[in-house]
């Protein structure tokens, strides 16, 4: 029984560390979004490189291995 308690303690410690790490990553993404897209003028000056960075930062596209392909397809289909 003592080993289960140890595993639970280890897990809770790990989970807290993960939560802090995820929060820091989220804050960094929000800062980037605000810096790149915080105003209509900034959006008008959005470049292909910026779009690549944006797609790489999206949580919803983490499963894509080749994100450059996805960005290039978006640009081809919709223009930039």
Which letter, b or e, does each residue of 20-36 get, where b requires 16 or more Cβ atoms within 10 Å of its Cβ?
eeeeeeeeeeeeeeeeb
The string of pLDDT tens digits covering residues 26-43 is 899 889 888 888 888 888
Residue pair 34/19 in contact by the 8 Å Cβ criterion: no
- Rounded to two decimals, what is the model's pTM? 0.56
Domain chopping of the chain, boundaries: 1-44, 47-80
Q: What is the pLDDT of residue 73?
A: 86
The string of pLDDT tens digits covering residues 1-24 is 678 999 999 999 999 999 999 999
Q: What is the pLDDT of residue 1?
A: 61
Instruction: Over range 64-80, report the average pLDDT.
Output: 82
């Amino acid at each position: 029984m003592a080993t289960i308690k140890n595993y639970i303690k280890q897990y809770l410690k790990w989970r807290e560390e993960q939560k802090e790490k995820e929060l820091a990553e989220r804050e960094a993404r929000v800062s980037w979004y605000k810096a790149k897209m915080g105003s209509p003028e900034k959006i008008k000056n959005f470049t292909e490189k910026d779009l690549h960075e944006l797609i790489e930062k999206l949580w919803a596209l983490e499963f894509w291995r080749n994100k450059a392909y996805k960005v290039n397809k978006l640009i081809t289909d919709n223009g930039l």
